[in-house]
Structure 1
C-alpha cells in the first residue's frame, strides 16, 4: 500500500484544474484562406486537463501515468509553474527543481561552467551555494573535459548529465522528472536512479512521468493514472501500472 500523509499539509495541491489548448488545422496563409473559403474550422479545442484534483504530501514518491495525450506532462508543467490553469488552482510549498525538458534554461552561447551558475540561480541557489557544490556537480555530470565548452556544442546526453546534476545538487523540496531518464547511457541512468532514491530517502517529494512502467512502479509508491485529462485511478503504483497494461 502507498504511504499515507493525510495529517500533513500537502506539498502539492491541484483542485479542479482545467487546461484547454487551441489546435490549429492550417500551417500557412494559403491553407487558412482555402479552409476559410470552404468554411472548414481553422482550430479546435483540446481539453488537456478536465477537472483534475489531487494532493501530494511531503516525502511521497508519485508517478503520473497515462498514454500520450492523457494530461500527465501538462500536470507536471502546472506543478512546475511553466503552465497556468484556465480554471482551478495549483498550489505548491517549497523549492521545486524540474527536469522537464533536457537543457531547458541553458543558454547555448554560454559554457557548461557558466550555465551551472545560471541554472543554479534559476533554481534559487546563491552564488556561494553554487560555488560550494560546483565540484560535486561537475564530477557527477562526468563531462569535466567539456565544462568550458559552449553548450550549443553539447549532445543531448551531455545536456542531460549537466541539467540533472545541477538539479539534484540543489536544496529542493520537490523534484519533478519527465522522461529525462530515457536519455543517456544505461550506467548514467542507473546512477541517476540511485541519486533519486537517495533524495527520496532524505524526505524529498518526487513526481515522475515516464513510459518505463517497471521503473516507475519500483521507484514510486503511488500512481495517479490519467485518461482523457481526468484522474482514472489514484493509489498503489503497481495497481496503477497493472491498469495501464490491462
Structure 2
C-alpha cells in the first residue's frame, strides 16, 4: 500500500496558495453553501457538507464563517452555483482538470480558456483528459501525526485502498464512495486530517523540465486566483531540483 508520492508538487502548491487566506475562505464558503443546499444543513447527515466543513476546519476557517456559509444555503437571496469541470492540456503535455463552482458559466469558461491559452496550454472538451485519472477520496495527515506503520495500520483498519508516506506527510486514498466513512474512522484513530476531499489521481505522470515547470506553475497560480475555481489537478511531476530552480 505504500509508494512514492506523486502528489507532493500539488501539496507544495497548495501550501503556497493557503497564504491567500481571504481567497481560500471564499472558496471554502462557496463549497459549504453548495453542499448544504444540495442536502440537509446538518453535517452529520450530509456527507458532502461534512467533508466541506472538515476541510474548512483543517484550514483554520473560523467557526462563525462556517456557520454563516451553512445558513446562506437557506437564505432567500442565496446565489445559485453550479458545478463545472474543465479539462485541458498544459505545458509539456501535462493533463489538467479544473473544478469550479460558478453562477456564470460564460465568465468562468472564458477565464479558464484564457488562462490555458496564455500559459502554454489549450482547453479541451469534457472527457478529453479525465480518462487518464481515477476519481478517488484523498485524506492527508501531517508527517508528525505518527510513523508510516502507525498510519498504515490505521488506514487499513479504516478500509483505505492505498497510502503514500513521505517527509511531507501521509496521503491516504479511498474509493470515492468510502471517503466519508474512512475519514470518520481515521479521525478517531489519528485526529483531524489536514485535507479530506474527492480528488483526481493520475494513472501516469509526466516529468516537467525547468521551462515547462515554470510555465505550468504560472498557469496553476492564475487558475487558483480565480474566485470560481475550486481545485486544480494535474498529472505532472516536478523534481525537487527543478522546483527549487523555478522558485516553487
Q: TM-score range by the shorter chain?
A: under 0.3
TM-score, normalised relative to structure 1: 0.25
Between Structure 1 and Structure 2, whose CA radius of gyration is higher? Answer: 1
Higher relative contact order (CA 8 A, sep 6+): 1
Larger helix share, 1 or 2: 2
TM-score, normalised relative to structure 2: 0.24
